[in-house]
Structure 1
Amino acid sequence: MTATARFRTARRSRFAALALTLPLLTACGASVEAGEQNRKVTVNRCGEPVEYTTPSRSVVYEAGSADKMFALGLTDRVHGYLMPPANPPVEESPWAAEYAKVQFLGDDLLNREAVVEAKADLVVAGWNSGFSDQRGITPAILDTLGVQSFMHTESCFNYPGHPEKVAPFDALYADLERLGQIFDVPDRARDLVDGYRDRAERVRAQAPGGDPVPVFLYDSGTDQPTTAGNQVPPNDIIRFAGGRNIFDTLDGRWNKVGWESVVQAQPEVIVILDYGDKPAQEKIDFLKNSPVTAGLPAVAGNRFFVLDYNEGISGPRNLDGLEKFGEYLRTLGD
């Protein structure tokens, strides 16, 4: 047995023991005031109405989840965060000071053991990017453990049984408003969403005239590239800024496509998604050196725009990515 296998076996054993003690952990971990314990509100979760009590010990997965909570001023309701290696360092976040106030729970994928050890009363994550049938951590499973869950609306497109198809930026706004309801800060959520809508509209108003520039989002992959369909934030970032995602008719989230489709579309700009284990420069070098892509207009013209990972997944930093990309497209016309 490898060291990794021994580690996973030990983790499973610890989880089995922890699961037996969950009622005790939940009871001693709660710090919600008496009035809030009795407060209940029904909020949609991927098209399904779910009743929530006010959480006080949330666990958030990835920066998109944490950022939504911090932007809403809910740091005191976050116990800790899980941050897998793909995420850029939290010290680079606009909310670095807020991350420092809560516990770092590990760089593993979302898992039940971490949730139980944290005595969580709410888990915030996306479907497939956090919650997963394969890894045995789903809203239904957490329900049996007495732990509430909140899923990013943008990720609901792939959620079985309760599909909810919402444009990516509208999904971000829905999340903030729903979290505002759950935590009883609806006015704060409304003000935040109004501000984000205004920022997006300002970029749209300044978009270059004429036909939208064809844009290819390159996430990863050499044999086959992974790119953005129309159900993830980069599609709206590209569209609002005045470009056109060459795969905007792809009704999906993150998808593998063929290089021949990319070549056929002749993108004028390539957006590179930059994250920890797949840095942007490596992808740019690959595109420049591959005989398949070296002749693309974007590559030949060195028109690459680097989008930070946390500007490309559902979260408040989508607006930062939009503003930067909008400015980039405007400079192309100068």
Structure 2
Amino acid sequence: MTTSVREGSSPWRSVLPVAAVSVLLAGCGAQVQEGSAAADTVTVERCGEEVEYTTPQRAVAYEGGSADKLFALGLADQVHGYVMPPANPPVEESPWAEDYASVEFLGDDLLDRETVVDAEADLVVAGWNSGFSDQRGITPEILDGIGIQSFMHAESCFNYPGFPERVTPFEGLYTDLDRLGRIFGVEERATELVEGYRERVAAVEEQVPEGDPVPVFLYDSGADQPFTAGSQVPPNDIISSAGGENIFGDLDERWTQVGWEAVVEAEPEVVIILDYGDQPAQEKIDFLTSFPAMSEVPAVVEENFFVLDYNEGISGPRNIDGLESFAEYLRELERG
């Protein structure tokens, strides 16, 4: 049995111009450099659309990935608060727990327009269909119309209507940090972060075990049909960079439903359990090990389960932590 359960896991308003001087920021000590984009406005792409941003002072983040990106850039002083749905593990488990504690908790539901208006937000950071939503009436276009700036994760943009953008998930993380760095005027800090993350990914890829990639199935949830990761979300890059192969990596989707027959036919040797919400990872493992359709799948027979924290699976800095842990797991895996 090769089961890994990681310790600590559970898976616009108008603003005053900012003077173009060096200002020490909270968190990681990022600085606004003289002559940087922090003076008044800067033009940055938002899912392929050129958008002019004024330096935010009351940003609102939706979910851990959004807040983590801002906190990693040392921007806690310019974050007003966050909305954190119940699926997200407790913020006290975050590497940026102190930053979360220093800003306002705005709600534990889905993102909505009323919340950000009441917060007097001058920037909302979220993903397309994972925060911003036509159905719920909170889109970048709607916020533009009421004077609230918005930023969308590049990883989520490939199906954004009108202004699509396609990047691989890890490149989406790097792109977001670069763009947020420009919007907030902390370009040097963004560059340092991205270079560090690229180096960590390269170090993992240099240690990939010899032989064929390990077939991997990510199990998010679902009994009648499993919910899993396609090619357009971070677990796909985590799996491939670690030396595995996402059995649904050929699906040009983000998170999607598939059939159990397809899972069985792919014969995954490892199952990644995405850990979040009110269903513990062990309950998902118990379901898979007792589910007759999966009884002869190699990963289930060998009980090769790896638990990936929710914030390691959605776009954010903790993707790199998830990669390193999963890569270590694969290096120690005894294949039949």
Instruction: Please report the TM-score for the alignment, with normalisation by the length of structure 1.
Output: 0.90
Instruction: Determine the structure 1 residue equivalent to 2:258.
Output: 257
Say which is worse superposed, 31-40 or 192-201, in terms of deviation.
Answer: 31-40
Instruction: Determine the structure 2 residue equivalent to 1:113.
Output: 114
SS in 1 for 2:128: coil
Instruction: Determine the structure 1 residue equivalent to 2:209.
Output: 208
Instruction: Determine the structure 2 residue equivalent to 1:286.
Output: 287
Task: Report how many residues are paired.
Answer: 308
Partners of 1:143 and 1:218 in 2: how far apart?
37
1:79-90 → structure 2 map (5 Å cutoff): 79-90=80-91
What is the aligned-residue RMSD (CA, Å)? Answer: 1.4
Instruction: Determine the structure 2 residue equivalent to 1:277.
Output: 278
Instruction: Determine the structure 2 residue equivalent to 1:33.
Output: 18
SS in 1 for 2:45: strand
SS in 2 for 1:157: helix
Partners of 1:91 and 1:188 in 2: how far apart?
24
Partners of 2:141 and 2:236 in 1: how far apart?
30
1:24-103 → structure 2 map (5 Å cutoff): 26=13, 30=15, 32-33=17-18, 39-103=40-104
Q: Is the 8 A contact 1:32 1:56 kept in 2?
A: no
Instruction: Determine the structure 1 residue equivalent to 2:319.
Output: 318
Q: Once the 2 structures are TM-superposed, how far is the Cα of residue 157 of structure 1 from its aligned partner?
A: 1.6
Structure 1 stretches of 5 or more lacking a match? 1-21
Instruction: Determine the structure 2 residue equivalent to 1:162.
Output: 163
Q: Once the 2 structures are TM-superposed, how far is the Cα of residue 34 of structure 1 from its aligned partner?
A: 5.7
Partners of 2:97 and 2:200 in 1: how far apart?
22
SS in 2 for 1:304: strand
Q: Once the 2 structures are TM-superposed, how far is the Cα of residue 40 of structure 1 from its aligned partner?
A: 1.2
Higher relative contact order (CA 8 A, sep 6+): 2
Q: Once the 2 structures are TM-superposed, how far is the Cα of residue 277 of structure 1 from its aligned partner?
A: 2.4
Q: Is the 8 A contact 1:157 1:252 kept in 2?
A: no
**One-letter amino acid of the structure 2 residue matched with residue 149 of structure 1:** S
C-alpha deviations, 1:101-151, integer Å up to 9, x for none? 100001011011110111000000000010000000000000011000000
Structure 2 stretches of 5 or more lacking a match? 1-11, 21-36
Instruction: Determine the structure 2 residue equivalent to 1:328.
Output: 329
C-alpha deviations, 1:2-32, integer Å up to 9, x for none? xxxxxxxxxxxxxxxxxxxx9xxx46xx465
Q: Once the 2 structures are TM-superposed, how far is the Cα of residue 279 of structure 1 from its aligned partner?
A: 2.2
Q: Is the 8 A contact 2:169 2:315 kept in 1?
A: yes
1:214-233 → structure 2 map (5 Å cutoff): 214-233=215-234
Q: Which of the two has greater helix per residue?
A: 1
C-alpha deviations, 1:282-329, integer Å up to 9, x for none? 111110111001221000101000000000000000000000000000
SS in 1 for 2:228: strand
1:112-131 → structure 2 map (5 Å cutoff): 112-131=113-132
Distance change in 2, residues 1:32/1:333 (3 Å): farther
C-alpha deviations, 1:198-255, integer Å up to 9, x for none? 0001111111110000000001111000110000000000000000000111011001
Partners of 1:220 and 1:270 in 2: how far apart?
12
1:151-190 → structure 2 map (5 Å cutoff): 151-190=152-191
Partners of 1:277 and 1:150 in 2: how far apart?
29
Partners of 1:211 and 1:253 in 2: how far apart?
25
Q: Once the 2 structures are TM-superposed, how far is the Cα of residue 280 of structure 1 from its aligned partner?
A: 1.1
Partners of 1:33 and 1:186 in 2: how far apart?
15
Q: Is the 8 A contact 1:63 1:310 kept in 2?
A: yes
Between the aligned residues of both structures, percent identity stands at: 70
Q: Is the 8 A contact 2:38 2:183 kept in 1?
A: no
Instruction: Determine the structure 2 residue equivalent to 1:298.
Output: 299
Q: Once the 2 structures are TM-superposed, how far is the Cα of residue 50 of structure 1 from its aligned partner?
A: 0.7
Q: Is the 8 A contact 1:207 1:326 kept in 2?
A: yes
Partners of 1:38 and 1:196 in 2: how far apart?
28
Q: Is 1:239 matched up with 2:240?
A: yes
SS in 1 for 2:194: helix
Q: Once the 2 structures are TM-superposed, how far is the Cα of residue 37 of structure 1 from its aligned partner?
A: 8.5
**One-letter amino acid of the structure 2 residue matched with residue 118 of structure 1:** A
Instruction: Determine the structure 2 residue equivalent to 1:5.
Output: none
**One-letter amino acid of the structure 2 residue matched with residue 33 of structure 1:** V
